[in-house]
Amino acid sequence: MAYVTAYGPLAESGHVRPGDHVLITAASSSVGLAAIQIARHIGAIPIATTRGTGKKQRLLDAGAAHVIVTDDEDLPTRVKEITGGDGVRLAFDPVAGPGVETIAQGIAPGGFLVVYGALDPRPTPLPNARSYPALSSSTYTLFEITTNPERLRRAVAFVNSGLASGAFTPVVDRTFDLTEITEAHRYMAAGDQVGKIVVTVDHGRSE
């Protein structure tokens, strides 16, 4: 599902072309990591963001061409430095809230802002046309793909092809046994993971 979620804006939409820069915020999530891999697979250049330095190297190891640590670096400034002043073609954001204004400053004229989540519960301002000329912004959910049989067929073929070729490798941060479920929840709540947390169930265990 993480790959299908990222597939829509990055591949199905046709917005992103080889050589384009793509900004992926909150990139250590499973969808963010899938977006990094999809961007690389289609020849785009993924720029990942993370709040602290602890995840920077892991995101680089996961395939990000660049990582911006937003607690320490100004996002629009770094995006312009990385892209030679052009800005990114597409920004893929699960956070929403007032931060979309900052993200919009790093998007190239004619580029796209896609918000696919609501981690920040505060109102999300719509970037205005005067400050951000020709910027297209939209919300998105994976149901735009999964409820359309033809789009879903293409998504499944795309993801299966990437998995078969090795271009896509699901990232598992840590595995817990079901008996460790409390610890697994605590680990998830801490927010230090990069990728999925997996809980295994031993069906052969006698109760």
pLDDT at 204: 64
- pLDDT tens-digit map of 163-180: 999 999 999 999 999 999
Q: What integer pLDDT is reported at residue 130 of this predicted model?
A: 74
Query: How many CB atoms within 10 Å of residue 108?
Result: 20
CA distance 75 to 81: 10
Nearest 10 degrees: Cα torsion 82, 85, 88, 89: -140
State the pLDDT confidence band at 205, using cuts at 50, 70 and 90. Answer: low
Residues 31-60: pLDDT tens digits? 999 999 999 999 999 999 999 999 999 999
As a whole number of angstroms, the distance between CA 146 and CA 156 comes to: 10
Question: Taking the model in full, what pTM does it have?
Answer: 0.91
Whole-angstrom distance, CA of residue 114 vs CA of residue 2: 16
The boundaries of every CATH 3.40.50.720 domain in the chain are 2-165
Condensed to tens digits (0 to 9), the pLDDT of residues 123-148 reads 998 887 777 878 999 999 999 999 99
What phi, psi does 22 have (nearest 5°)?
A: -125, 130
Answer yes or no: CATH 3.40.50.2300 is held by domain 2-165: no
- What is the helix, strand, coil percentage profile of the chain, to 5? 40, 20, 40
Q: Could you report the per-residue pLDDT of 77-124, keeping only the tens digit for each?
A: 999 999 999 999 999 999 999 999 999 999 999 999 999 999 999 999
Q: What is the pLDDT of residues 6-23, one digit of tens each?
A: 999 999 999 999 999 999
